[in-house]
Amino acid sequence: MAPSTPEKPSTTGSVAIRPWRDGDDRALAQVLPDPGSPAQLAARALLREPGESPLTRTVVAVIDSVVVGAAAIAASPAHPGRAWVHVEVAPEERRRGVGRALLEAAVAEAAGTALDGLGLRTRILADDPVAGAFARAQGFADLFTTRIVLIDAGALGSAGLERAEDLQVIDTGSVALTQAFAGWYERVNALDPAAPMSIGQVNTRFLSEAAGAHGAALWRPDAEDAGADINKRPVTAFAVSYAQKRAEDAEVQAAEASVVPEDDDRVFAVSGGEDATELTIGSVDGGMQDLRSLVARLSVDTPVVVEVTDVMETESALLEELLASGSARILTAYTTLVRDPQG
């Protein structure tokens, strides 16, 4: 059941902040510009009717009876130490204190709920100076930047070609894959810790058919005690491919979402073009050579799109090499910022 909020608006100057009402989604669509990226589209999906699953509180800004912006704060099931927050204001009303009033009101709406006192997290386009200046003025600081990169077919040449026996194409339900992914995910999200997950929950959230995963590969170099049995070899790198969504399908899904942004971490679903394979790649042991070999084998004939944060040291180093050589290009980048409670 949606929370009850007093209908009498509070005011900040000429701006009235009130609770969400039926039809506000349509009113916002009239005054907000089209989302500039899949990440922004997913964030805007938070601006919806308040609810309890996930726990969400939403407020709306009105000037002269016209809706000019909204803000939402929402629980984050995958990373529960911080709540998602999103603020948007019509371009002509920006820099007038509306955004600040919305943010303060949204946080106030969370008082007395499980969101009360949590740190906040938001996501903006990395090259958006206006959104960045606003967030930092409200006390947010950069946590990490994520780049979505298109790697050209054949960009890594013959890397790993002589080691074809180390490549294992495997089902996404594989225990070895799930264990490798789980350890990697925990490590690369140390700055924003994930909720404890069982192996089954990891597979369901990230590696299942429902999550869009439809293929996987492991790099398992020969080990002295493994012999010819590749299943006994250690996993040093992995890649998971995901089914592409058409742009219009992704937009509908995000607009109707009842989940928060990180419940579908792959915000690059429509960025790579029809012929690109979308991959999540990970170095399990931090070694560059095996990750390079794996990506090389998977990008021989078709380009691949990968999403890498600057916290992922090995993966980022590989992309830097490819970007420097001109065999990869950045499709988009976004920055995650956080504001943690004082003291």
Question: In this predicted model, what pLDDT tens digit does every residue of 198-215 receive, in sequence order?
Answer: 999 999 999 999 999 999
* Separation between Cα atoms, residue 277 and residue 269, nearest integer Å: 10
**Last residue of one domain, picked from the residues 115, 139, 163:** 139
Q: For 281-317, how does the pLDDT look when each residue is reduced to its tens digit (9 = 90+)?
A: 999 999 999 999 999 999 999 999 999 999 999 999 9
Q: Look up the CATH number of the domain holding residue 223.
A: 3.40.630
Q: For 11-54, how does the pLDDT look when each residue is reduced to its tens digit (9 = 90+)?
A: 444 889 999 999 999 999 999 999 877 888 888 999 999 999 88
pLDDT of residue 95: 87
What is the total count of domains within the chain? 2
Burial class of 289 by CB neighbour count within 10 A (0 to 12, 13 to 18, 19+): middle
Q: Taken in order 88, 89, 90, 91, is the CA torsion positive or negative?
A: negative
pLDDT of residue 245: 58
Q: Would residue 60 count as lying in a domain?
A: yes
Residue 200 and residue 317 in one domain: yes
Residue 157 and residue 257 in one domain: yes
**Last residue of one domain, picked from the residues 139, 166, 195:** 139
User: What domain range is 187 assigned to?
Assistant: 147-333
* Separation between Cα atoms, residue 241 and residue 214, nearest integer Å: 6
| Residue 5: pLDDT over 80 | no
Of residues 96 and 262, the one with the higher pLDDT is 96
Q: For 212-255, how does the pLDDT look when each residue is reduced to its tens digit (9 = 90+)?
A: 999 999 999 987 665 668 888 999 999 999 987 544 444 444 44
Residue 167 and residue 88 in one domain: no
When pLDDT is averaged across residues 248-267 and rounded to a whole number, the result is 47
* Separation between Cα atoms, residue 319 and residue 312, nearest integer Å: 11
Residue 204 and residue 317 in one domain: yes
* Separation between Cα atoms, residue 24 and residue 59, nearest integer Å: 10
pLDDT of residue 19: 94
Mean pLDDT of the residues in the chain:
87
Lowest mean pLDDT among 120-124, 125-129, 152-156: 125-129
pLDDT band at 10 (very low <50, low <70, confident <90, very high): very low
* 6 CA to centre of own chain: 34
pLDDT of residue 269: 42
| Residue 79: pLDDT over 60 | yes
* Separation between Cα atoms, residue 85 and residue 120, nearest integer Å: 6
Quick one: which of 343, 342, 334 has its CA closest to 135?
334
Residue 153 and residue 133 in one domain: no
Residue 304 and residue 199 in one domain: yes
Q: Would residue 4 count as lying in a domain?
A: no
Residue 115 and residue 57 in one domain: yes
**Last residue of one domain, picked from the residues 105, 139, 173:** 139
| Residue 261: pLDDT over 90 | no
When pLDDT is averaged across residues 141-162 and rounded to a whole number, the result is 93
Residue 161 and residue 134 in one domain: no
pLDDT of residue 7: 44
Percent of the chain with pLDDT over 70: 85
| Residue 3: pLDDT over 90 | no
Q: Would residue 254 count as lying in a domain?
A: yes
Q: Would residue 9 count as lying in a domain?
A: no
Residue 119 and residue 58 in one domain: yes
pTM of the model: 0.86
Half-sphere exposure of 259 (CA within 13 A, CB side): 13
